[in-house]
């Protein structure tokens, strides 16, 4: 199926965090404070997606103040943390937005993401996702988690929807 056909109905992206927006490592400093490293290009991609009139949400099994801060900094529509069973939380999110499952793109990297990936219109995985997740995905990206996977996804969706050029400024 062509990118344009898969992208056409998509109105929102829901994203896992660890292994998608980050490289999956969890780092604790000597005081026990958790740190994560986010790719700035993913942040711009999320902003471009939302500027285009679409919704973006985070859905993660863990709870992290760092994720909350990054999500708020980007103005992300929904930040859902602490959901080991992701499908009920995902359904609640898209239903609250008035969006059908076929209009949802979900990007995930590991087994807890599979139930959501099986229900949405477009399932996506970073190249370093687990084998089962890559096998479930309609799109397997070239980027690894934490290395611009979300940005690659947004670029691909916006280009397929013929919405990319509105963001490109030629000087």
109 assigned ligand-binding residue: yes
Are 158 and 49 within 8 A, CB to CB? yes
Report CA-CA distances (Å) from 126 to 11, 15, 48, 61, 72: 20, 11, 20, 18, 24
Q: At what angle do helices 65-74 and 40-51 cross, to 10 degrees?
A: 50
The tally of CA atoms less than 13 A away on the side-chain side of residue 8 is 5
132 assigned ligand-binding residue: no
86 vs 76: CA distance, rounded Å:
18
16 assigned ligand-binding residue: yes
Are 149 and 42 within 8 A, CB to CB? yes
Tokens of 106: 């979900």
The tally of CA atoms less than 13 A away on the side-chain side of residue 116 is 34
Binding site feature residues for substrate:
18
Q: From the annotation, which residues make up the binding site for Mg(2+)? A: 16, 109
Annotated binding site, which residues? Answer: 16, 18, 109
């Amino acid at each position: 199926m062509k990118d344009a056909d898969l992208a056409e109905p998509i109105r929102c992206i829901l994203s896992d965090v660890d292994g998608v927006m980050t490289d999956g490592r969890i780092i604790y400093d000597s005081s026990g404070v958790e740190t994560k490293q986010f790719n700035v290009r993913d942040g711009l991609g999320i902003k471009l997606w939302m500027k285009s009139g679409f919704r973006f949400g985070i859905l993660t099994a863990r709870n992290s103040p760092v994720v909350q801060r990054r999500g708020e900094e980007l103005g992300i529509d929904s930040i859902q943390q602490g959901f080991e069973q992701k499908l009920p939380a995902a359904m609640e999110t898209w239903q609250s937005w008035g969006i059908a499952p076929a209009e949802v793109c979900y990007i995930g990297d590991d087994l807890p993401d599979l139930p959501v990936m099986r229900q949405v219109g477009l399932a996506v995985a970073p190249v370093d996702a687990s084998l089962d997740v890559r096998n479930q995905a309609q799109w397997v990206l070239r980027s690894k988690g934490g290395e611009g996977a979300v940005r690659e996804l947004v670029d691909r969706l916006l280009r397929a929807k013929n919405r990319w050029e509105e963001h490109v400024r030629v000087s």
